Chain A
């Protein structure tokens, strides 16, 4: 299965401020009553974007200046909470292709990588610099350089971190491992044979 090598992501950015933005915030549980991920983008950040009558609240994603952003900026421990892939799926289906935050929750980070969404870790200061630049010019093009762990926009060239295993997976076109996992059929069978609890 040939996958796209994700060496860089280019696009406009939007800053959703806050630390500890959890997966219930990203996609409230009541929207997970579905048997496919199609259409989840619509409910991204629903409770912080919408009033109970369905009208818009003030939120960066409701701001038309950022309507075609594909890079999301946030704070610490982004994606904490549930393992629900519905959260990264909602981000992806909304149109996000890259995330820059101070840090990520473990399971969320892995789920994003598996979908081919690079998660960059940057300092609070650098994220503020980016956010200010986006606020000043929402059409600003940002480049997330996965291979070289850099974030470039305007005349800025910032250092950021993409965890090594994710960087290798994304830039090597190996972020979805199903093909390689399936190739190991006989090696899997060997490990299975050594584990009594695996017997039928």
Chain B
């Protein structure tokens, strides 16, 4: 019977049906970080259980790491206690830790792929909702809670109910200046923040075929913002090319066997999906959020909605968002004054994000009074950017170039908004208070759009600011 990748990977990892009707699923690759794992290790100790497969859990530290003053002990004693606790847990249990001095530390969803740990046809879980990122490789990757982290540490399995699969095709061609970030913001805007509940999203079509692995990661990363716990792209030559030669990738004779196996997990061409949705890539514009969830998004040339003009069931949320964001209803979003510009995060903190922005930053200057920060997603990304001289391009333009971590995406470290500052951000959530101030405001957009906002001091159309289209046509 023909099957989707989701079905094949699920079957290959199903241990048995549990008495509550759920499936006991083997999770081959377990990733952990300092925020959601310490309590799980504590539960394990309380139950006198051991880590069953320590070689299949990998740790890094990302959320609480300062991006400027990185010497230990950290100034924040709570952050310092968290990194020490993770270090202790890894040492005691034999789990590999990409610690600060390793040169490999970074955001867990950047580290996994770049180390070659993320592989097609595997199951991956991490106590972090953006684990869906790893689906870009044709893996089934779940965000989980801390009790499930305990279950994984103790048994390498967890209890799960099977998801339905929705195929999302994006065909046609993207216009110049339209990026992977715009594609996922557009999908969420159309299908809604809870449209994906109960589904795994399988992304395909010519736009995804043409995307690089890092672009695929950007889209899969934000699946959860559309309610889908899992998002993936079928593995292809690009996937294999990306993985070849990575530290944890198979090598030698094992490589060919692995590629053959990986290829076999791709969805069969005639497989049936629970739902299919089509988008035309040509209809997607540079997209920005205006509200307090990622569905509240518009094209950069559009105006902020009005309560009166919104659908009846949306009215209350639109009113709440307008009040919080302090944006005039009905006014163009372009020209909105910004305070902080942030390029980084597990959504857009990879090498190609900085390369793309650097193309346009040469000779430009960040507008007066704007604080702009660029935060590589990992120490490896940082190193490559430095080798290529990209960090100097950012610094010459007036950006601060920081050390690797989650930074301002969620403000569990010193990078935070103050008061009602408005942030142009390449991250993934624009929830109230997300960036560290209870009244702070977040506008999500692609990294190049963040750079345009930094140069103009206001939300701007990067195509106009940088002539993105013209450059792309060269």
- How many residues of chain B are within 8 Å of chain A by beta carbon? 81
Check if B438 is an interface residue, CB within 8 A of chain A: yes
A67-85 with Cβ < 8 A to chain B: 76-77, 80-85
What distance in Å separates the Cβ of B61 from its nearest Cβ neighbour in chain A?
13
Given known pairs A165-B161, A169-B22, A197-B119, the reply for A105 and B194 (CB within 8 Å) is: yes
Check if B127 is an interface residue, CB within 8 A of chain A: yes
Contact pick for A33, options B317, B412, B434, B436, CB 8 Å: B412
- Give the residues in chain B near A84, CB-CB below 8 Å: 35-36, 127, 129, 145
What distance in Å separates the Cβ of A194 from its nearest Cβ neighbour in chain B?
7
- Give the residues in chain B near A197, CB-CB below 8 Å: 28-29, 119, 122, 250, 258
Q: Tell me the complex Cα distance, A116–B107, Å.
A: 31
Nearest CB to that of A172 among chain B residues? Answer: B20
Nearest CB to that of A182 among chain B residues? Answer: B155
What distance in Å separates the Cβ of B293 from its nearest Cβ neighbour in chain A?
5
Judge whether B411 and A30 touch: CB under 8 Å.
Answer: yes
Q: Tell me the complex Cα distance, A86–B39, Å.
A: 10
Check if B49 is an interface residue, CB within 8 A of chain A: yes
Q: What 1/0 mask marks residues of chain B from 30 to 62 whose CB sits below 8 Å from any chain A CB?
A: 000001101100100001010011011000000
What distance in Å separates the Cβ of B189 from its nearest Cβ neighbour in chain A?
14
Judge whether B432 and A24 touch: CB under 8 Å.
Answer: yes
Check if B320 is an interface residue, CB within 8 A of chain A: yes
Q: Which of B77-85, B266-274, B279-287 contacts A (4 or more CB under 8 A)?
A: B77-85
Q: What 1/0 mask marks residues of chain A from 87 to 126 whose CB sits below 8 Å from any chain B CB?
A: 0110000000000000111110011001100000000000
Judge whether A168 and B20 touch: CB under 8 Å.
Answer: yes
A1-58 with Cβ < 8 A to chain B: 18-20, 22, 24-25, 28-30, 32-37, 47, 52
Q: Tell me the complex Cα distance, A174–B224, Å.
A: 27
Judge whether B193 and A168 touch: CB under 8 Å.
Answer: no
Judge whether B42 and A77 touch: CB under 8 Å.
Answer: no
- Give the residues in chain A near B227, CB-CB below 8 Å: 77, 80, 105-106
Contact pick for B146, options A30, A85, A169, A181, CB 8 Å: A85
Given known pairs A33-B78, A77-B193, the reply for A25 and B438 (CB within 8 Å) is: no
Check if B276 is an interface residue, CB within 8 A of chain A: no
Q: Which of A130-138, A141-149, A151-159, A184-192 contacts B (4 or more CB under 8 A)?
A: A184-192
Q: Tell me the complex Cα distance, A185–B157, Å.
A: 10
- Give the residues in chain A near B28, CB-CB below 8 Å: 195, 197-198
Judge whether B151 and A36 touch: CB under 8 Å.
Answer: no
Given known pairs A29-B410, A107-B229, A114-B145, the reply for A169 and B293 (CB within 8 Å) is: no
Q: Tell me the complex Cα distance, A52–B420, Å.
A: 12
Check if B148 is an interface residue, CB within 8 A of chain A: yes
Judge whether B197 and A188 touch: CB under 8 Å.
Answer: no
Contact pick for B81, options A24, A35, A77, A105, CB 8 Å: A35
B142-168 with Cβ < 8 A to chain A: 143-148, 150-151, 154-159, 161
Nearest CB to that of A22 among chain B residues? Answer: B431
Judge whether A178 and B197 touch: CB under 8 Å.
Answer: no
Judge whether B79 and A33 touch: CB under 8 Å.
Answer: yes
Contact pick for B42, options A28, A33, A36, A175, CB 8 Å: A36
Nearest CB to that of B23 among chain A residues? Answer: A165
Q: Tell me the complex Cα distance, A10–B19, Å.
A: 26
- Give the residues in chain A near B145, CB-CB below 8 Å: 83-85, 88, 107, 110-111, 114
Judge whether B194 and A115 touch: CB under 8 Å.
Answer: no
Given known pairs A103-B197, A182-B154, the reply for A28 and B12 (CB within 8 Å) is: no
B428-450 with Cβ < 8 A to chain A: 429, 431-434, 436, 438
Check if B304 is an interface residue, CB within 8 A of chain A: no
Judge whether A22 and B411 touch: CB under 8 Å.
Answer: no
What distance in Å separates the Cβ of B108 from its nearest Cβ neighbour in chain A?
12
Judge whether B129 and A77 touch: CB under 8 Å.
Answer: no
Check if B15 is an interface residue, CB within 8 A of chain A: yes
Nearest CB to that of A108 among chain B residues? Answer: B145
8 CB < 8 A contacts A-B: A24-B432, A33-B82, A88-B145, A107-B145, A165-B161, A172-B19, A176-B147, A188-B15
**Residues on B close to A: CB < 8 A?**
12-16, 18-22, 24, 26, 28-29, 35-36, 38-39, 42, 47, 49, 52-53, 55-56, 63-64, 76, 78-79, 81-82, 85, 119, 122, 127-129, 131, 143-148, 150-151, 154-159, 161, 193-194, 197-198, 224, 227, 229, 250, 254, 257-258, 261, 292-293, 316-317, 320, 410-412, 429, 431-434, 436, 438
Beyond A178-B150, A197-B29, 8 extra complex contacts between A and B, CB < 8 Å? A33-B76, A83-B145, A107-B224, A114-B145, A114-B148, A178-B154, A181-B154, A188-B157
Which 9 pairs show the lowest CB-CB distances between chains A and B?
A: A85-B145, A111-B145, A83-B143, A35-B38, A33-B78, A47-B438, A83-B129, A85-B146, A169-B20
